[in-house]
Amino acid sequence: MIRNEFMSRFGPPPKLADGILVKRWVTGPNKGKPKPSLTTQGLLDRGLMELPDDGGHWLRARFTAAGIAALLEMAEDRRALPPTEYQHVLDELGIRQAGDRDDGSSPMS
């Protein structure tokens, strides 16, 4: 779910800081209440995300400090977040890939 939500598609890549869109119930007894997906609800239940309700039409589930720590652990495995597809996420997490240099020069020079 993390890879799907933060995959680059058309336009600018999604940002972790923007969180994950959560819809609201439109009708029925839960009208107006958050309607997170099962996966998002699992992240909320484990304290990896929070869902502040500011009363606006759209809700955004955002990562907590524990969620960011879990993402950092996930990013340690290059197969989980391949830099070719998720470099924007790695950049936002402040992760430098092997071969990156502090002086901005190419590792091949």
Q: Where does the pLDDT of residue 38 fall: very low under 50, low under 70, confident under 90, or very high at 90 and above?
A: very high
Q: What pLDDT, in 10s, does the model give residues 56-101?
A: 888 999 999 999 999 999 999 989 999 989 999 999 999 876 545 4
Query: 95: closest CA among 69, 72, 77, 63?
Result: 72
Supply φ then ψ for residue 106, to 5 degrees: -70, 140
pLDDT exceeds cutoff 60 at 44: yes
Measured in whole angstroms, how far is the alpha carbon of residue 104 from the centre of its chain? 27
| pTM attached to this predicted model | 0.79
Distance CA 51, CA 61 (A): 5
Is the model more confident about 11 or about 106? Answer: 11
Give per-residue pLDDT as tens, 12-37: 899 999 999 999 999 999 999 999 99
pLDDT band at 9 (very low <50, low <70, confident <90, very high): confident
